[in-house]
Chains A and B, each alone.
Chain A
């Protein structure tokens, strides 16, 4: 599996993503600085990591979504490549329009960092296959702006088309319909607020994130 991680100024989960990918999949990802032009053409997976790209000083993910590297991320998506956006990465994917909806400030108005129970809603996707029949998993969250919003039609469509990958059990941020992770129409792009790369054990984040990366190896 050939993968890369896009590093924006202010990304801070890039190393976590690198460790998770290399440890679980056995393949070392390439780290691509956002200014370095383009992504290689032959990538299977691009990961857009968490953090605070450009300090989140504008809208979360809005500046990164206009970085030069995004053009080649789009080409990768158009080729049918896989993309995983976590936390700030999810926000970036929404800002680019590669995924529908947007992420606004948590309903509590506070940053929230805690272990979060999730329901695996779509067990047959490229990102969730290895969870098998496991209904609920626990993955840490850590965000200030994870409140997923979209209009009712879009939400109905996401649910109807099986594009809701994960739902919160006990909604921590006010997300519409408890949505924690969203798939693109072709099922190859996943954006999620919880951090699977922080759940590859043995550490406080647990190890329920491993199956997500294992799913990808099986799918690619």
Chain B
């Protein structure tokens, strides 16, 4: 046998149903594939089908439900279906953003998994012509007591920082929670926001036949082969051995790729462009061909390769990072090559677009793949998976055992519990200020981050939200809540919410109980998006977050983006003044179901915790609009939305951040810790209050006192410094301690 036949023979071998099953293609899908193709596929073709039809690429379990999301409002330029969503932010500019998960790889190899998650989401944004200006991450880890948690936190945080810091995009916001439900499947969701001129936005669509297919960036190696398939299956014990399917990130190359691509985009050379993310060269080339309604013919020998002897199968399925594929306009190859040469990046013409509608791949002069493009995308399975409506929970027995005089003790407990404790240990490892436009980041502790639109007085408000214990208790209300809280957080800083990206993290959709959570959460979110006029413009679905049959808590994360015309009118959390009144806007009904109080103080397990607070969306909109208007008219000094831990935790956070004592008067535990929604607290002085519009339903809660003073309620006092210490110390102490197992 010659070398070339040794390489080619297995690639060309006809495949059967057993081999298909090994590729994650079930019997029904195999039938569909062979019917459409009119023959059995060879190995390369099967590999391509398997990744294109994987859950990760095809959204086959969620697609029909995702279509329930509203995706348009007057500011939406591009909704779901491209690399990222695009919104109009005025003056001919656009914000481009998306959130994406890197859950499975981060569990297996936390540093590289998280790092490449950041790299991937950045590429989604700059592929479209945007300069990335902000990163956000939403992290969920297992119980702090679980022996793996500490090292996963350390690795993920280092990975996010290692990539984002080097590439030079500020990490401005995030959330981090712990729950034993994530012991076997952590969640690493990364969001990127970019800025572009509306007349310089690039899409995967638009390629025409007869043009060069141009490969740029890193060389292709054997890393990450079948990552998309891995992300479409459950874990079982010992899955860490999957490490070779995790990619390795190179933020330095990514930085060069950003600069080179943006430089090329400033010329008129690109017809269509797609980054090589999940399923690498396969999905990028198929996407462009499918959206352009054309064929492609690629010579894989021309693909820059890191290793010798790679087969067509490996080249097509590699998920090596920091690579882009584009279709150039005629006569632009030299221009493009010169730019990539400046940055010492590989850049090669690896094929041509055709009018055949087929994907033809060649290696060593042989055709190793010849399949019609359309079925890869069009015929991808679209399942209506059976689902069971999640059972409604019995109301929480509200005869609370705790006593009113324990209020401050409870506050100390909640503010130092893993979910509420300060995450300074994390965000101090992220460069939050590079690019010089960060107005408010995690450091300012406000409800949303604020990033100035470079060179203007405009700013984008960005936040990430989800309360998984609500979604677990009632996915419909919990889905609504995630969107409503995002709307509140964006409004709290004075910005107008424009649109969201979402990252839907769930367990195995083939389990009807899990599928029920997926369906109801999506429906709840969709309802909230509709009422709030806050559409979904991009997103990602991560299913099979399940180990040995144990699914994660349902976690549909919402990444919200809002617009502020003049950042000088923004308000944060930390600007309350001595003598200001603390005012509650919204209605307190005393709902303790599924609250932090129920979890940490009553010590209830999720099934006994009762339903989450109901969401009145019309009320959410009204109150957020009121607060925004108060902020923009300078009628408040500080704002905070009420969420986890209710009034007491929000008020304490405002006191801590403003470093002012605060007297909350006499309050029942229900007033202090219930998590009723559609509520804000604000700090304002008498002069501001006198100028408030009449008729607002407000409740005077307390008065801000002296710097570094006392927090008091029901006649009890607690020095702020003690509260601050409890709030700040949990995370560093936890990370510094040694696992006891």
Contacts and interface: CB of A to CB of B under 8 A. Distances in A.
Contact of B166 (A56, A113, A195): A56
Contacts of B267: none
Contacts of A114: 428, 443
Interface in B525-575: 568
A113 B431 contact: yes
Interface string A118-136: 0000000000000000000
B320 to A, nearest CB: 16
A56 B495 CA distance: 38
B375 interface: no
A19 interface: yes
Contacts of A54: 252
A50 B168 CA distance: 10
Contacts of A35: 342
B430 A12 contact: no
A12 B250 contact: no
Interface string A96-129: 0000000000000011111100000000000000
Nearest to A56: B166
Interface stretch (A71-79, A161-169, A200-208): A200-208
Given A142-B433, A195-B433, A9 B256 contact: yes
Contact of B434 (A55, A57, A142): A142
Contact of A9 (B344, B432, B437, B444): B344
Nearest to B253: A55
B165 A52 contact: yes
B217 interface: no
A204 B429 contact: no
A181 interface: no
Interface in B349-386: none
A33 B250 CA distance: 21
A15 interface: yes
A205 B437 CA distance: 9
A101 B428 CA distance: 26
B226 interface: no
A144 interface: yes
A55 B250 contact: yes
A144 B165 contact: yes
Given A52-B251, A112-B428, A113-B428, A204 B444 contact: yes
A10 interface: yes
A111 B157 CA distance: 10
Contacts of B158: 110
A197 interface: yes
Given A9-B343, A52-B165, A55-B166, A204 B432 contact: yes
B321 to A, nearest CB: 13
A15 to B, nearest CB: 7
Contact of A15 (B255, B342, B435): B435
13 contacts: A12-B166, A12-B434, A20-B436, A55-B253, A112-B428, A113-B431, A140-B433, A202-B568, A203-B436, A203-B437, A203-B438, A204-B444, A205-B436
